[in-house]
Structure 1
Amino acid sequence: NDGRSIRFTVQAPDNLAKYIAQKGSICINGISLTVNSVDGSQFGINIVPHTLKETTLNDAIIGTKVNLEVDVLARYMERLMKGDAAAKSCPAVTMELLQNSGFLER
């Protein structure tokens, strides 16, 4: 608690953790949030008091299980990078293209 927000740390299952990135989107129990930090399969979020009060996160305690939905863009990127048959009709996505488009740091 920094006075303006409450910090939550969430343990994601490995099959979802790979899609979670700092400053990316995550949906927890239907609440769309921004990821502030990532450490392995754990990630941190900050919740402002109003959001906390108006959502199911207000009742969360350590160990509470939550529903996670990861950013769909991350799933699309994985599919494109793997070269799935359905993605073959799309132009090639390369690391250079991602970097030039602002998705990767230079």
Structure 2
Amino acid sequence: MFTGIITDIGKVRSVEQRGDMRLVIDSGYEMGGVALGASIACSGVCLTVVDKAPAGEKGWFAVDVSGETVSRTAPGLWREGARLNLERALKVGDELGGHIVTGHVDGIGTLVSTHSEGDSTRVVIEAPAALAPYLAAKGSITVDGVSLTVNGVEDVEGGACRFGLNIIPHTQTLTTLDDLAPGRKFNLEIDILARYLGRMEQLRR
């Protein structure tokens, strides 16, 4: 489990295509405290540490990304030089500063527009129709691993929806949400409570 509070920005050092894709990611984490087999969320995707920097070396860790994961996540993330929002797994007793995040991507969103609103940046993202029923104003959404509050939702033709967010300067500085090029794709994870409520509603029908 995670909280959607980003604690580092990693950079993909290398990509090796094996049976799965092996990534080496540079990080500011002190890897002595990260065990092999530990989970780290990489732009909202829960991945397992399969190798890491030896003691005394600059921090890096390696993960394997399956073809299934690549097919269900935003394009362009798993390439050399890509920046990734990083969060280590939640420990019992840690502060829950965002909301409960599983690291399982539910769909891919597309950036529609941005504009300044006070000191913040107002962002509108289009979500696919499959996610539209699970998004509500003042609810939580995870965007590339970042816990954010939905400010408004607008349904669009074809069943998709557009939702608005306000990104404060602090969040932009400490995450990859400082790069908001038109058409950018994002990993989206809906609130876990909405996911279970949706499944319960399906079973009632």
Q: Same fold (TM over 0.5)?
A: yes
- TM-score when scaled to structure 2? 0.39
Q: Distance in 1 between matches of 2:187 and 2:180?
A: 12
Corresponding residue for 2:65?
none
Runs of 5+ consecutive residues of structure 1 not aligned to the other structure? 85-106
Structure whose residues are more often helix by fraction: 1
Cα offset, 1:72, TM superposition: 1.1
Corresponding residue for 1:30?
145
Corresponding residue for 1:10?
125
1:17-58 Cα offsets, whole Å, 9 max, x none, are 221110000000000000000001000000001101211111
Coordinate RMSD, CA, aligned: 1.2
Q: Aligned residues: percent identity?
A: 50
Q: Distance in 2 between matches of 1:17 and 1:79?
A: 14
- Runs of 4+ in structure 1 over 4 Å off: none
Q: Does 1:64 align with 2:179?
A: no
Structure whose residues are more often strand by fraction: 2
Runs of 5+ consecutive residues of structure 2 not aligned to the other structure? 1-115, 156-160
Letter in 1 for 2:165: I
Cα offset, 1:75, TM superposition: 1.2
Q: Distance in 2 between matches of 1:78 and 1:17?
A: 11
Cα offset, 1:13, TM superposition: 0.8
Which residue among 163, 166, 172 is the counterpart of 1:46? 166
Q: Which has the larger radius of gyration?
A: 2
